[in-house]
């Protein structure tokens, strides 16, 4: 067969296969063009899930009439003109493929009017190589693109489209992601002439959170922690949900890089690691996060639809994301309040530690039912129990001056009233009733104590009686050799036997008895994919978690009032104490309003 150039129409239809998968893909490309045109209002209308008709109208800068024909030509763009601009691209799109690709598989009409002009212009195409001629058209400042009969001339692709309901579901999901990407732009979406969503521009935090709540539901925002952190040119802001607000699917995860929604393995891994020991097994975290980075340090041109990105320094980005989120989630304890106006974490409340040691629950115990009493100083016993009694005195009637210290200085978890079935502690705080799962709470306290002690000593090694040889690829052997310091820091001694063989001579002492070969292979896999590994720490954390479980107070163990109050105070000063080591909640609050509703008071 001789080599010959493909017809322009066929080239465009092939390109359409990369960027136009379904109606939602069309909307993504058109809306991103509108954003690049400086639009502050974008209206989206679809019929029959977008298969019959799509129209995207904006109030952006519009297109010069002399450029309209080029707008439907491949590799024609107003967004870059040289290599330097390509390397620092900050627009949503720039390849110049979307419009000609869409026009090659649909009946497309483009109407535009530049700002400051008194006339609009229209250009049409129906899948043929040559677009129709320019004609004057009435149109406000901005641009409208109407796409009809998607894939009418490529029936094979049309067969892959799903039902109207399914296709509109994809459209709605995409539009939600776009609406969350730009708070400064107003959006509306109509399906079959019925308005599905409408959001005006959000200029401040309060309005932005209203938009988030409208899209993800008020429950997300009620359980979300707001964060804003900047370091070495990286800036992360947004909302992360409390670990107890987890999902069965990864359907509430929105991550934006310079305003572009991305699905990136590095990002997903960093977030997952931050939630590592506070998320229930098999559950997924929820978040809306925005990462700002110098465009020179991120490549957005690694995928036709730009869903994936590549960071120049992936390890730095991974570490920044992990540390920021890990620090934010460390504040999930009763003593870490959240500002109701800003959503930001407040400084810890509750009893401070003495001499750096926990006031309760820090001792370890061998497995078994026999347990030692809590450590709690006599003055603390009397103070805690006395305050508990003061709390139970009648509350002053309305109009009576406040001022009793016992009522003004109530800790976040209040004071213990009783123990229920040897499992739960019932306590009274300023808001009502607190119910604490005493084993789950003490397990987290003990676990965090173990982690602090282990971090202070470092990861100590245990030489293997018989070194373990491991056959690997040359790339993995080179990787292990270049990361020898990393392995030593993790408590492992790894040597090289040959081009494709390594040997494990020592492992962390806490992991003695583990499969050394499996551990090394997992570490190397982490290094290949993510450039780093926290697998050793994960393995150690699992051991510490098991030890904490055995060393924590058991169900059916009767606690004195002093011991119950000691546990409450320790929860208030322990990081992540809202969840046990397995991600289950350790306490719940029942406010007076909820209790009143149970007994129909005031109805």
- Tell me if residue 34 falls in helix, strand or coil: helix
What's the pLDDT score for residue 396? 46
- Tell me if residue 419 falls in helix, strand or coil: strand
Q: In this predicted model, which residue has the larger pLDDT, 352 or 496?
A: 496
Q: In this predicted model, which residue has the larger pLDDT, 445 or 172?
A: 172
What's the pLDDT score for residue 519? 85
Q: Is the pLDDT of residue 344 over 60?
A: no
Q: Is the pLDDT of residue 189 over 60?
A: yes
d(CA 319, CA 92): 26
According to DSSP, the β-strands at 135-137 and 142-148 are unpaired
Average pLDDT value for residue range 254-263? 91
Task: Give 384's pLDDT tier (boundaries 50, 70, 90).
Answer: very low
Which of 73-87, 172-186, 256-270 is the least confident region? 73-87
Q: Is the pLDDT of residue 90 over 90?
A: no
Q: Is the pLDDT of residue 167 over 50?
A: yes
What's the pLDDT score for residue 503? 96
**Which is it for the CA torsion 134, 138, 139, 140, positive or negative?**
positive
Task: Give 76's pLDDT tier (boundaries 50, 70, 90).
Answer: low
According to DSSP, the β-strands at 194-199 and 186-191 are antiparallel
d(CA 303, CA 83): 18
What's the pLDDT score for residue 543? 66
Task: Give 515's pLDDT tier (boundaries 50, 70, 90).
Answer: confident
Q: In this predicted model, which residue has the larger pLDDT, 273 or 514?
A: 273
Task: Give 69's pLDDT tier (boundaries 50, 70, 90).
Answer: confident
Q: Is the pLDDT of residue 378 over 50?
A: no
The DSSP secondary structure of 303-336, one letter per residue, reads STT----EETTHHHHHHHHHHHHHHHHTT-STTE
d(CA 536, CA 366): 24
What's the pLDDT score for residue 540? 74
The DSSP secondary structure of 245-298, one letter per residue, reads S-BSSS-SEEEEETTEE---HHHHHHHHHHTTTTS-TT-B--EEEEEE--GGGE
The DSSP secondary structure of 189-222, one letter per residue, reads EEETTEEEEEE----SHHHHHHHHHHHH-HHHHH
Average pLDDT value for residue range 436-446? 90
Q: Which two tokens stand for residue 566?
A: 């000691």
Task: Give 88's pLDDT tier (boundaries 50, 70, 90).
Answer: low
Q: Is the pLDDT of residue 367 over 60?
A: no
Task: Give 354's pLDDT tier (boundaries 50, 70, 90).
Answer: very low
d(CA 395, CA 481): 69
Q: Is the pLDDT of residue 395 over 70?
A: no
pLDDT tens-digit readout, 203-240: 999 999 999 999 999 999 998 999 999 999 999 999 99
What's the pLDDT score for residue 142? 96
- pTM score, two decimals? 0.72
Q: In this predicted model, which residue has the larger pLDDT, 154 or 19?
A: 154
Non-local (6+) Cβ contacts of 308 within 8 A are 262, 263, 264, 302
Q: Is the pLDDT of residue 504 over 90?
A: yes
Average pLDDT value for residue range 424-434? 95
Q: Is the pLDDT of residue 186 over 70?
A: yes
Q: Is the pLDDT of residue 406 over 60?
A: no
What's the pLDDT score for residue 352? 33
% pLDDT > 70, the chain: 78
pLDDT tens-digit readout, 302-321: 555 567 778 888 889 999 99
Q: What region does 44 belong to: left with phi over 0, alpha with psi -120 to 50, or beta?
A: beta
pLDDT tens-digit readout, 565-600: 999 999 999 989 998 888 889 999 999 999 999 998
What's the pLDDT score for residue 74? 65
Helix H or strand E segment including 46: strand 41-47
Average pLDDT value for residue range 384-408? 45
Q: In this predicted model, which residue has the larger pLDDT, 85 or 286?
A: 286
d(CA 344, CA 336): 10
What's the pLDDT score for residue 87? 58
Average pLDDT value for residue range 494-500? 94
Average pLDDT value for residue range 274-280? 86
Please answer whether residues 229 and 237 qualify as being in contact, where contact means their C-beta atoms are separated by less than 8 angstroms: yes
Which strands make up the sheet holding 120-125, listed edge to edge? 135-137, 120-125, 107-113, 142-148, 53-58, 41-47, 186-191, 194-199
pLDDT tens-digit readout, 536-576: 777 777 767 766 776 677 767 888 999 999 999 999 999 89
Strands (E), 445-599: 461-471, 493-498, 501-508, 587-591
What's the pLDDT score for residue 350? 35
Computed over every residue of the chain, the mean pLDDT equals 81
Residues in the chain: 603
Q: In this predicted model, which residue has the larger pLDDT, 352 or 239?
A: 239
Which of 6-20, 200-214, 369-383 is the least confident region? 369-383
What's the pLDDT score for residue 114? 93
What's the pLDDT score for residue 75? 60
């Amino acid at each position: 067969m001789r080599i010959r150039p493909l017809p322009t129409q066929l080239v465009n239809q092939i390109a359409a296969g990369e960027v136009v998968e379904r109606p939602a893909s069309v909307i993504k490309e058109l809306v991103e063009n509108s954003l690049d045109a400086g639009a502050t209002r974008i209206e989206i209308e679809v019929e029959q899930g977008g298969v019959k008709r799509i129209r995207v109208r904006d109030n952006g800068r519009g297109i010069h009439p002399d450029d309209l024909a080029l707008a439907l030509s491949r590799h024609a763009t107003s967004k870059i003109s040289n290599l330097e601009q390509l390397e620092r691209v900050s627009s949503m799109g720039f390849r110049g493929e979307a419009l000609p690709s869409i026009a090659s598989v649909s009946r497309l009409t483009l109407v535009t009017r530049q700002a400051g002009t008194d006339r609009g212009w229209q250009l049409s195409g129906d899948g043929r190589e040559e677009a129709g001629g320019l004609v004057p058209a009435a149109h406000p400042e901005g641009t409208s693109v109407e796409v009809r009969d998607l894939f009418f001339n490529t029936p094979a692709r049309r067969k892959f489209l799903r039902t109207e309901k399914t296709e509109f579901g994809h459209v709605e999901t995409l539009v939600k992601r776009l609406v969350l990407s730009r708070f400064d732009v107003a959006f509306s979406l109509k399906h079959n002439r019925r308005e599905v969503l409408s959001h005006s521009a959000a200029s401040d935090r309060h309005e932005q959170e209203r938009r988030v709540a409208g899209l993800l539901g008020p429950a997300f925002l009620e359980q979300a922690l707001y964060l804003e952190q900047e370091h070495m040119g990286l800036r992360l802001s947004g909302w992360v949900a409390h670990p107890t607000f987890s999902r069965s699917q990864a359907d509430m995860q929105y991550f934006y890089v310079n305003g572009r929604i991305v699905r990136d393995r590095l990002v997903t891994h960093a977030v997952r690691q931050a939630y590592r020991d506070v998320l229930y097994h098999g559950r997924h975290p929820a978040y809306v996060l925005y990462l700002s980075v110098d465009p020179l340090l991120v490549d957005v041109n690694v995928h036709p639809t730009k869903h994936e990105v590549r960071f120049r320094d992936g390890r730095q980005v991974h570490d920044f994301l992990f540390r920021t989120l890990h620090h934010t989630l460390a504040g999930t304890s009763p003593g870490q309040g959240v500002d109701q106006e800003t959503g930001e974490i407040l400084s810890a409340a509750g009893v401070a530690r003495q001499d750096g040691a926990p006031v309760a629950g820090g001792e370890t115990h061998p497995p078994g039912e026999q347990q030692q009493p809590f450590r709690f100083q006599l003055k603390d016993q009397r103070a805690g129990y006395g305050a508990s009694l003061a709390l139970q005195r009648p509350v002053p009637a309305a109009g009576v001056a406040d001022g009793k210290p016992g009522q003004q200085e109530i800790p976040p978890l209040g004071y213990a009233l009783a123990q229920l079935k040897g499992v739960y502690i019932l306590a009274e705080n300023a808001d009502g009733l607190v119910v604490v799962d005493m084993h789950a709470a003490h397990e987290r306290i003990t676990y965090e104590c173990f982690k602090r002690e282990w971090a202070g000593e470092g990861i100590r090694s245990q030489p293997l009686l018989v070194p373990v040889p491991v056959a690997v690829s040359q790339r993995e052997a080179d990787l292990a050799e270049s990361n020898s310091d990393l392995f030593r820091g993790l408590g492992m001694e790894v040597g090289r036997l040959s081009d494709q063989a390594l040997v494990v001579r020592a492992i962390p002492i806490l992991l003695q008895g583990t499969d050394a070969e499996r551990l090394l292979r997992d570490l190397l896999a982490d290094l290949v994919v993510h450039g780093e590994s926290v697998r050793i720490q994960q393995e150690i954390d699992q051991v510490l978690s098991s030890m904490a479980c055995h060393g924590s107070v058991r169900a059916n163990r009767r606690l004195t009032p002093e011991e119950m109050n000691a546990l409450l105070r320790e929860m208030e000063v322990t990081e992540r104490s809202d969840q046990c080591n397995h991600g289950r909640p350790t306490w719940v609050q029942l406010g007076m309003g909820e209790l009143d509703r149970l007994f129909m008071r005031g109805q």
